[in-house]
Structure 1
Amino acid sequence: MTWLYLSLLAPFMWSLSNLIDKYAITHITSHFISFIFLLSVGNIVITVFIYSTFPLKPVDLTTATLNLASGLFIFLQYFAYSYCLEDMDVAIVIPIHQSEPLFVLIISVLFFHAIPTFWQLIGFTLIMAGILVLCVSRKTMQGLGNVKYVAVLLISALFGALSTLISDDLLHTNQLASVLALNFAGYALGGVLLLLVPTWRRIIIDDLKILTPRQYGVFGFTNLFDVAGYIFFTAALAVGGGAALVSVVVSAHPIFVVALGFIAARLFPTLYSQDTAPQGVTRKITAIVVISSGVAMLSFQ
């Protein structure tokens, strides 16, 4: 059962990262652009660590380009995530942000001529229903600020699906460490490219000038927890959990976000805020269970 404990540790670590992200984007950076810049360029350190620690085989130009593109898709996924997180409750952001299996299925059907099974169609329906549950109440819609955020989060899930499909294909013929290193490099490259836009460059520089070492440390912690989640996820696969089983357990990620967010909002109300009203919590949990059930059905097929 080691794989089960590792699979549970992965979403736990990611949830800690998500809560720190919400704190950082609310209390540290002045704009989501400087937030995603700091979130992404930290991956340079991880890339250097992998290359200096593991003996990696050289890859051809086509493979490297595809791998970097996969990393850029991850950056775009988190760019959309950051844009929405600035104004939304993290407990609403994560379930929609994590709906990428939905788009893996759609892409497989449209471009690889896959035929969805009955259970995959049920999973598809459940994910869409769960997203709608998050958006039905007037209070929740006010929390979203605008319906466009839901569309942006679905686009973020699409980018995640594209990255997953590319990485999955590359892993058939390449080292895990090599694929991870170039993914992290592509993610970091996305952050560097933000500096090419004059307005964004000014926002980033202005924020970097006033951040304290402790505030930089907050971004170090969120990156640490995020990477730890991926390590536990990969370890669960390595010890024989199986991709389908591990994916189902990891789909509990939003439940951890709601639970830890509820605790953080009660213990540290000045640092972290979340809708803890019984009606709102019930709606979120209902939606998360529905979405997670849909993800489980897609993962097993």
Structure 2
Amino acid sequence: MLNWFFIALAAPFLWALVNLADKYLVVNYCGGKKSAGSLVLFSSLIGLIASLTIGIFTRGVFAIPLFDKLLLIFIGTFSICWIILYLFTLEIEDVSAVIPWMLTISVFGYILSYFFLGETLTLAQLLGAAVIFFGAIILSVDFGKIHILFKGRVALYMLLASLIYAINGVIFKFVASADSFWVASFWEYLGLGLGGVLIFLFVGDYRRNFISNIKTSGKFIFSINVVSESMTIAGNLLTNFALLIAPVALVYMVGSFQPAIVLILTFFSTKFWPKIISEDFSRKIIIPKMIAIVIMLIGSLILFI
């Protein structure tokens, strides 16, 4: 039966929709260079609401050790860094060229788990990691110009974002293995919210941009963030459910289809709804991008299988 496949595939499809929503917000509601970081304040606000909701419906959120609470609050606050880097990248690059970089998260996760959780690295995993990074190198080259250019900022931002995401994942796994998922999520979302409060208080440009967006399009942006966060959580739950009925490696391999799904969705958006998302699908742009994505998917296949 392939029921598990469609359940697992629904997760990256939902996450891909979230990626397109992020790109739409960055393009339409950020007025200047690196102003997209102010959108993280909306995510932080959602984090506070999510934390409060989990706290109301989950028992024992205060029963875990103080050290675990502090670690989870830290990764929630630290996650703001990768979100901002991700939003910065969406300002300067197509979303279909940004999301494949997220496949490097698994590579960093394996490396960090090897050093800090005592997990082993196989030859296949090392080969898969090398293939993924090879695809990322192709992805970071701009073939659309007269002279081929290396998109250094895109590579730097997304490698840092992926590393931070992987660090948070390893810490979350370390803590949540002893505590329930929802208890750990309560403290992580609380950290995200508190980090947003600090940014609002001490980063004037983000505060002013946030207030401006609240006045002009606050309800719309907030609604999109609520829907996006709901789809993200739904994707996580679908993945967890798929893990119960299928091998872990296969479920994670299906999850790595997200870049391909984003590319397909951006194609249809460009063709039928260009006001939402529009990208250059000329041959000199799309062929190297497709080659890079296929190579990175092959790397993920090697990594997980």
Task: Give your verdict on TM over 0.5.
Answer: yes
Tell me, in whole angstroms, the C-alpha distance in 1 between the residues paired with 2:237 and 2:94.
Answer: 27
Tell me, in whole angstroms, the C-alpha distance in 2 between the residues paired with 1:143 and 1:250.
Answer: 32
Matched residue SS, 2:245: coil
**Residue 40 in structure 1 maps to residue 44 in structure 2:** yes
Listed one character per residue, the Cα deviations across residues 230-281 of structure 1 (whole Å, up to 9, x for unaligned) are 22122222x3324322111101111110011111111111231112223422
Letter in 2 for 1:246: V
Residue 173 (structure 1) shift: 0.8
Cα contact 1:88–1:144 (8 A) shared by 2: no
Q: Which residue of 2 aligns with 1:209?
A: 215
TM-score normalized by the length of structure 2: 0.89
Q: Decide whether aligned partners of structure 1 residues 118 and 294 sit closer, same or farther in structure 2, where only a CA change above 3 A counts.
A: same
Cα contact 2:141–2:149 (8 A) shared by 1: no
Q: Decide whether aligned partners of structure 1 residues 113 and 42 sit closer, same or farther in structure 2, where only a CA change above 3 A counts.
A: closer
Task: Please say which of residues 160-169 and 195-204 is displaced more in the overlay.
Answer: 195-204
Residue 222 (structure 1) shift: 2.2
Tell me, in whole angstroms, the C-alpha distance in 1 between the residues paired with 2:280 and 2:16.
Answer: 17
Tell me, in whole angstroms, the C-alpha distance in 2 between the residues paired with 1:266 and 1:48.
Answer: 41
Tell me, in whole angstroms, the C-alpha distance in 2 between the residues paired with 1:207 and 1:157.
Answer: 28
Q: Which residue of 2 aligns with 1:54?
A: 58
Listed one character per residue, the Cα deviations across residues 51-98 of structure 1 (whole Å, up to 9, x for unaligned) are 222333521110111112222333222111011111210011111133
Q: Which residue of 2 aligns with 1:276?
A: 281
Matched residue SS, 1:139: coil
Task: Please say which of residues 23-32 and 217-226 is displaced more in the overlay.
Answer: 217-226
Letter in 1 for 2:192: Y
Q: Decide whether aligned partners of structure 1 residues 215 and 180 sit closer, same or farther in structure 2, where only a CA change above 3 A counts.
A: closer
Letter in 2 for 1:264: S
Q: Which residue of 2 aligns with 1:122?
A: 127
Q: Which residue of 2 aligns with 1:106?
A: 111
Task: Please say which of residues 73-82 and 160-169 is displaced more in the overlay.
Answer: 73-82
Q: Decide whether aligned partners of structure 1 residues 215 and 148 sit closer, same or farther in structure 2, where only a CA change above 3 A counts.
A: closer
Q: Which residue of 1 aligns with 2:3?
A: 2
Of the candidates 234, 239, 251, which is equivalent to residue 233 of structure 1?
239
Cα contact 1:88–1:145 (8 A) shared by 2: no
% identity of equivalent residues: 26
Residue 144 (structure 1) shift: 9.1
Residue 185 (structure 1) shift: 2.0
Q: How many residues align?
A: 299
Cα contact 2:71–2:171 (8 A) shared by 1: yes
Letter in 2 for 1:33: G
Q: Decide whether aligned partners of structure 1 residues 143 and 274 sit closer, same or farther in structure 2, where only a CA change above 3 A counts.
A: farther
Q: Decide whether aligned partners of structure 1 residues 143 and 156 sit closer, same or farther in structure 2, where only a CA change above 3 A counts.
A: farther
TM-score normalized by the length of structure 1: 0.90
Matched residue SS, 1:85: helix
Cα contact 2:103–2:296 (8 A) shared by 1: no
**Residue 293 in structure 1 maps to residue 298 in structure 2:** yes
**Residue 131 in structure 1 maps to residue 136 in structure 2:** yes
Residue 203 (structure 1) shift: 2.5
**Residue 151 in structure 1 maps to residue 156 in structure 2:** yes
Task: Please say which of residues 68-77 and 143-152 is displaced more in the overlay.
Answer: 143-152
CA-atom RMSD in angstroms: 2.4
Map 1:218-257 → 2, pairs under 5 A = 218-237=224-243, 239-257=244-262
Q: Decide whether aligned partners of structure 1 residues 289 and 146 sit closer, same or farther in structure 2, where only a CA change above 3 A counts.
A: closer
Tell me, in whole angstroms, the C-alpha distance in 2 between the residues paired with 1:199 and 1:154.
Answer: 25
Of the candidates 63, 68, 72, which is equivalent to residue 68 of structure 2?
63
Task: Please say which of residues 105-114 and 259-268 is displaced more in the overlay.
Answer: 105-114
Flag structure 1 segments of 5+ consecutive residues without an equivalent: none
